[in-house]
Amino acid sequence: MRRHLLALAGLLALGCATPVTALAQDAALTPADQGWIDRIQDTLNGIHTLKARFQQTAPDGRTSEGTAWLDRPGRMRFQYDAPSPLLLTAANGQVVFQDRQLDQTTNIPLDKTPLGLLLRDHLTLSGDVHVTGFRHANGFLTVTVVRTASPGDGSLTLVFTDNPVSLRGWTVIDAQQRSTAVRLSDVATGGTFPDSLFQPAPEKG
């Protein structure tokens, strides 16, 4: 059960956090910073499909690895390497998280998760998404966002290389200030994936 909860927290923390009253603070952005943020936004909107290896570091420091597929808008699959029985799929507005060993399933609306932001048909880093931090150093770009209406729920920090601008991972900090990092490698964009890839595993009979 602990394994299930830690992995779930890592990918879905903004959806599971306890609401906290807070006000989002504007990042102090220079014109150059805003230019990079515009490029990040354009890069994300230019991704229609993506496949990558991932390494996830949970709040307790434990790591797990697997393969991720994203198909915008609205579909994804995080398949953890064996012997882990964990599988996360998203389609039709729902995220389904399964522990196939324990035969447990958790369902969460996609728009209540941090990855739901990445899977929107068109992502805008303004409006209902608020930029609270930006950094450009050592060849990497990081931009931190919160939901404008509920910033106390937690934050999502996206990590990109700067040349070219390419998604390399994210860090989620939940309402209890627990941090979970996901790092991507072997990133490939483009191509098509079968619909079956985004369906949950069959339940045990």
Alpha helices (H) in the chain, listed in sequence order: 2-16, 31-46, 114-118
Q: DSSP letter string over 106-128?
A: EEEEGGGSHHHHHTSSS--SSTT
Predicted confidence at residue 174, as pLDDT, reads: 78
Could you list the pLDDT tens digit for every one of the 205 residues in the chain? Answer: 445 545 555 565 544 443 434 445 566 889 999 999 999 999 999 999 999 999 999 888 989 999 999 999 999 999 999 998 999 999 999 999 998 888 888 898 887 777 788 889 998 888 888 899 999 999 999 999 988 877 777 788 999 999 999 999 999 887 778 888 999 999 999 999 999 999 998 876 5
Tokens standing for residue 138 = 């050592």
Tokens standing for residue 193 = 């994936």
**Is the CATH number 3.40.50.2300 carried by domain 2-190?**
no
Tokens standing for residue 73 = 């808008």
**CA 74 centroid distance within chain:** 12
Look-up: residue for tokens 């098509």?
A: 192
Predicted confidence at residue 115, as pLDDT, reads: 74
pTM for the model stands at 0.84
Predicted confidence at residue 126, as pLDDT, reads: 86
Domain range annotation of the chain: 2-190
What single-letter DSSP state applies at residue 51?
Answer: E
Predicted confidence at residue 188, as pLDDT, reads: 95
Rounded Cα distance, 69 and 54, in Å = 10
Of 33, 40, 77, give the one whose Cα is nearest residue 166: 40
Determine phi and psi for 56, rounding to 5 degrees: -110, 130
Are 111 and 92 a contacting pair, CB within 8 Å? no
Look-up: residue for tokens 């994936």?
A: 193
Predicted confidence at residue 130, as pLDDT, reads: 87
Of 169, 69, 202, give the one whose Cα is nearest residue 77: 69
